[in-house]
Structure 1
Amino acid sequence: MTLAAMWEARAVDGRGSELHAWAREFALPAVRGAAGLERVELFTAPGERVLLIALWAGEPQPVPEPPAGLLARPVHRWTFTRTDAG
Structure 2
Amino acid sequence: MTVAAMWEARAADGRAAELAAWVHGTALPALRGSAGLDRTEVLAAQGGRVLLITWWDGAPVAVADPPADLLARPVHRWEFTSQHVE
In structure 1, distance between residues paired with 2:41 and 2:33: 13
Deviations 1:4-61 (A, max 9, x none): 0000000011100000000001111111210000100111111001100000000000
1:35 partner letter: A
2:61 partner letter: Q
Which residue does the alignment assign to 1:31?
Answer: 31
Q: TM-score, normalised by structure 1?
A: 0.97
Q: Does 1:10 align with 2:10?
A: yes
Which residue does the alignment assign to 1:70?
Answer: 70
In structure 1, distance between residues paired with 2:13 and 2:67: 15
Structure 1 unaligned spans of 5+: none
Which residue does the alignment assign to 2:51?
Answer: 51
Percent identity reads 62
Q: TM-score, normalised by structure 2?
A: 0.97
In structure 2, distance between residues paired with 1:59 and 1:45: 27
